[in-house]
Chains A and B, each alone.
Chain A
């Protein structure tokens, strides 16, 4: 590794992939949140937007394969969002608040889409990171 010449070096990342992913990265983020936020009246929604957000993790791994993301933290955040996805509809639907406040229905749907989007994005992202940095035995995670 130490006597690599810059001309002969073949272990480097491809510059084309680096530049294109760097260029597309903010647009992918924007597209993901666009799909999530507009999910209740255009095609798309939480799952589709969350998948776009998960693509960001993979794209970052392809360009910069360093295991500096704590996937335990992502997993915990994902669990908290999953709890909210269960609790908020129970609180809103069982008490029939949503029928008394029809103006807030789209706000409720947007909130649920955002929760599902973040949950799916982090969930798929954790799965991808664990796949990418799995080194056989030794480094294990608690599910």
Chain B
């Protein structure tokens, strides 16, 4: 009886591994799957195998995958609201998360199998642009979302192309800064489309 329960739970986790979008979650599900397999071996009276499965499956393999994921580049998208009276609060985040622009950007990175994290910033735009931790800065002035990217960043060029092709060009405006120089808010050239 309990064996069938464990097997069904393992099947559930296999489906979860395949259907999750975030690789980190898939790794955690894989570790849980390995632990359940170890429990199953224990129920079938094979403790040696259970120890080996538990250690290698949920120990070494999980940590190795995490190490491999660390080599994988994570794109960090910072979101700045231009009028600073717009406080970064929960309902503001939900509104922006539900917007077409951010959905498109997430979709773009998921298609390219690149991990993306969106960070809401409570700092002025100039400071966000100076910070090298963000690959893409979105600024929201209430009506329009502007994307600030490097000139040489081909990923962002592709992103711009995809958004233009899908017909959402009106919702995001792109602004390029030349790479290498520290961008300041005044000295920026507008990219004409």
Contacts and interface: CB of A to CB of B under 8 A. Distances in A.
Chain A at the B interface: SS class: helix
Interface residues of B, number: 26
Contact of A45 (B48, B64, B66, B119): B48
A16 B68 CA distance: 19
Given A55-B59, A124-B60, A5 B51 contact: no
B18 interface: no
Contacts of A4: 131-133
Interface stretch (A56-64, A72-80, A102-110): A56-64
A60 to B, nearest CB: 10
A10 interface: yes
Nearest to B68: A131
Contacts, number: 68
B63 A59 contact: yes
A48 B64 contact: no
A4 B52 CA distance: 43
Interface string A36-49: 00000001110110
A68 to B, nearest CB: 16
A8 B60 contact: no
B133 A10 contact: yes
Contact of A1 (B67, B127, B132): B132
A58 B63 contact: yes
A52 B64 CA distance: 13
A128 B67 CA distance: 10
A11 interface: yes
Contacts of B88: none
Name the residue among A8, A61, A62 with the largest chain B CB count within 10 angstroms.
Answer: A8
A26 interface: no
Interface in B51-94: 51-52, 55-56, 59-60, 63-64, 66-68, 70, 76
Nearest to B54: A48
Contacts of A47: 52
Contacts of B50: 43
B123 interface: yes
Nearest to A11: B133
A8 B63 contact: no
For the complex of A and B, 9 pairs with smallest distance between CB atoms: A43-B47, A58-B63, A55-B59, A51-B55, A48-B51, A10-B133, A43-B48, A132-B67, A48-B52
Interface of A: 1, 3-5, 8-11, 35, 43-45, 47-48, 51-52, 54-55, 58-59, 61-62, 65, 124, 128, 131-132
